[in-house]
Structure 1
Amino acid sequence: MADESRLLLIVEDDESFSSTLRRSFERRGYTVLVAAGPEAMEMVLKTRRPGYAVVDLKLGAASGLSCVERLHAFDPGMNIVVLTGFASIATAVEAIKLGARHYLAKPASTDDIEAAFGRAEGDAAAPLGARPTSIKTLEWERIHEVLAETDFNISETARRLGMHRRTLARKLEKRQVT
């Protein structure tokens, strides 16, 4: 097998975004493979051993967290960065626990992602924000925590939150996330 030290796997279901990301990383000297979801990712892992991965948190009906877990089990040394429009504390914590190196909210640039690959350790000098948390933010984070727990199953999330499914759908539509 060829040297795959600069082999990057992008697990992203948005074809336009993954194509743009692929071209940008190829210009930086990476060999890039793209998988639209967990099944395609498994096919790639049968023949290749990427050193880097960028995983979208929401892959259609699937959760990118399961991909992070699988990639980390496949190679604990793989540099995995999670990208998401569904940023929440709960999913960030889960992504890191499952083996991601970093968690970035979209839109993130290629520079941001590459910098995240290079950060192996946490930063104890990171400034602590004294931002008060609003009720809406707490609700949003709780919704996304339960969404992650249910692999983004809207009906089950609504049931666990004691909320009507349509109410949850409306809340999710109000905060358009990509």
Structure 2
Amino acid sequence: MREAVHAATLAELVDKGYAALTVEGVAQRAGVHKTTVYRRWKDRESLLVDALAEHLAVDVPVPDTGTIEGDLRALARSLVQSYTSPTGRAVLAAMFTGAAGLPEIAAAGGHVFRDRLTRAEPVVRRAVERGELPAGTDPGEVLKTLAAPVYLRLLVTGDPVDETTADQAARVTLAAALAGAFVPR
């Protein structure tokens, strides 16, 4: 039931946007009664927060290609693919437009992004262990640098975002990491 309601929540978000998202619409789409939804989630905000957190937590798998170059490229491409899909665009719109002013959504967004960084940190740690990156390289800073150009284009400039963007972000991040830019001084 939880998966069906999460899927229905994201589908409603894609089809109608945050402003028109209702618990009743989600329940109808999920094929459950609205009281079933309200037993688990107190309101649409808590439902949306839970659905977004679940979606974002599993949406970007952590690669293990055997090289830091391959892993960074795979991470960046996965991020681009995730946020250029209809669901990804709806998630971004909810998190950074109408719903962004809600403390629950802001907190969930911060939690989700921190969780994504934490999940991907083994990519950098493995590279340090293999000797591909300098000892002491800060995994979080590497990953933030990798994601920054993608989010800048998606949320600020509106420039196209594609695999070329992902590959360039990976190359720039790798060059900076190899130069020791993410080793605390």
TM-score if structure 2 supplies the norm length? Answer: 0.33
Which structure has greater strand proportion? 1
Please identify the structure whose Cα radius of gyration is greater: 2
Greater percentage in helix: 2
Q: TM-score, normalised by structure 1?
A: 0.34
